[in-house]
Amino acid sequence: MGTDTDVRRIAILTYPGCFFGEAIKLLEILTSPSEPLAAQSEGKTRNLIQIYSLTGGRVFSPSSRLIYMDTLMIQGPKPADLDLLIIAHGTWAVTDHTSELSCWLRAVCPGAKQIVALGSGVIRLAAAGLLNHRRVTTHSALAPLLAENYPLVCVDALLPMQIDGNIYTTNEHINLSELALRLMKRPLSLGHRLQHQAASAPNGGGLTAFNHAFTRLDSIAHRVILWWLAHIDEDISMERSAVFLSMSERSFRRHFKTEVGYSPYLFLLLLRLELARQALIDSNLPIDKIARRGGLHDGQQLARMFRKFIETSPHQYRTEICNDGLPVPHPVYAALFDGRTTPPWLHEMQFAAKRGIHAGRGTQL
C-alpha cells in the first residue's frame, strides 16, 4: 500500500437476531497474514476493527451461545472513512426506515469504500433507502419478501454474490473466500464512490434516471405523466393510461417500469400524494377537498397515505412544515420527493399540463 504501516478500517454492524458466523469468517479471511493479496502490499497493514450494536456491550449470536462479542453502541461517535462495512446476516424483519439502525447506516455508508450485506443484512440497507434501483441478492427464502416490501430494490436471488458499485450482497451459496478476493481486488476510490452515489442517491428532485426519462419528450413516462397531471382529479386506471398511449396495458406497465423504476400505479399514487402535499402548503382548502382534487377518494385515504409515506398526518404536516420538525419520509417516496419542496421536473411538467400541450409538440392533451 505504499507506506510503512497502513490502517485498514473495518466495522461490523450487528443487531438483535443476527448471526456472527459468516461475518467473523469473512473477517478472518480478509485479515489473515497468509492471505496472498495482503502479502503483495508494501509495508504492513494494521486492521482497526470495530463492532457496533444498538446498545453496546457484549452480545451473542443466536446460532451459538458460545460466540460473544464486545460492541460499541451506535448512538456514540460514528466511524468515518471506513474501508469496509460488514452488515451481518440475521433473522427476517421489516425494519422501520426511521429506526436507529437506518439512521446510523445513512450516516455511515456514504463514507465507506466497500459495503457488504451478508444474507438478510441487505434488508437493513433497503430499509434505510440505500438500495433504491440497486441490483442485489439475498437468501432465496427471503427474496420474495424483500421484493414485496422494498419494490425499488432489484432482487435476483439466483446469484450467490451481487456487486453494484461499492455494495456487495450475498445469498446462502456464497463462497466467502471468493467474496474476500473480490473485496481485495476492487477497492473503490473515494472519487469513484462519490460519483456513483451522486448518480444513485435520492436528492429530493428525482434520481438521474428519472430526470432522463422525464426530459425525453418521446418517452412513455414523460407522455403519460403529462396526461396524468391534466386529468389528476379523475379516476385514472392503468387501462385508460395505456389507451391514451395506444399501447396494450401489459406493454405500458413494462415500458414505464423500465424507464422509471416504479410501477405506473405506484408512481401515480406518489404523484397524487405529492400534489396534495403541495396544496396543503399553498392553500387553505379543507383536507377532503384537497384529496378529491388530487384524485383521491377522501381525506381519510389521504391521511393513510401521509402516515405511510411521510410519517405524519396532513393536519400535522400543515402545522409542522415551518418548524422543520418533520420525520424522515419513507424511502419509496423519498427517492422522488423530499416532502418539503417541489422538484424542478414536476414544476415544469405541471406548467406544461396546465397549458394543455403534450411533450412540447403542440398536440392537445
* CATH number of 217's domain: 1.10.10.60
Range of the domain at 324: 208-364
Residue identified by cell 461517535 is: 77
Please name the amino acid found at residue 255: H
Domain co-membership, 232 together with 215: yes
pLDDT per residue as tens digits for the range 107-163: 899 889 999 999 999 999 998 888 888 889 999 999 998 888 888 888 988 889 999
The dihedral built from the CA positions of residue 245, 246, 247 and 248, taken in this order, carries a sign that is positive
First to last CA, the chain: 61
Domain co-membership, 92 together with 178: yes
Number of H helices, E strands in the chain: 17, 14
Nearest to 223 by CA among 361, 360, 358: 358
* pLDDT less than 50: residues of the chain: 1-3, 35-42, 66, 188-209, 211, 357-365
How far is the CA of 242 from the CAs of 187, 246, 259, in angstroms?
45, 6, 15
CA dihedral (31, 36, 38, 43) in degrees, to 10, reads: 130
Q: What share of the chain is helix, strand, coil (3-state, %, to 5)?
A: 45, 20, 35
In CATH, what number is assigned to the domain containing residue 47?
3.40.50.880
pLDDT number for residue 358: 44
C-alpha cell at 288: 377532503
Domain co-membership, 77 together with 184: yes
Domain co-membership, 126 together with 62: yes
Domain co-membership, 25 together with 152: yes
How many angstroms separate the CA atoms of 108 and 81, rounded? 8
Domain co-membership, 186 together with 215: no
C-alpha cell at 142: 427471503
Domain co-membership, 88 together with 179: yes
Beta-bridge mates of residue 84: 10, 114
Which H or E run contains 221? helix 220-230
- Pairing assessment for the beta strands 357-358 and 363-364 based on DSSP bridges: antiparallel
Nearest to 330 by CA among 302, 308, 313: 308
Domain co-membership, 32 together with 170: yes
pLDDT number for residue 287: 94
pLDDT number for residue 201: 39
Q: Last residue of some domain: 200, 225, 258?
A: 200
pLDDT number for residue 340: 82
Instruction: Name the average pLDDT for the chain.
Output: 80
How large is the angle between the packed helices 344-355 and 220-230, nearest 10 degrees? 60
pLDDT number for residue 338: 81
Q: Last residue of some domain: 200, 229, 253?
A: 200
Which H or E run contains 48? strand 44-53
Domain co-membership, 329 together with 180: no
Domain co-membership, 179 together with 212: no
Residues 224, 245 contacting (CB under 8 angstroms): yes
Q: Last residue of some domain: 173, 200, 227?
A: 200
Q: Report how many domains make up the chain.
A: 2
Let me know if 14 is exposed, middle or buried by CB neighbors in 10 A (0-12, 13-18, 19+). buried
Domain co-membership, 135 together with 259: no
Domain co-membership, 232 together with 187: no
Residues 151, 332 contacting (CB under 8 angstroms): yes
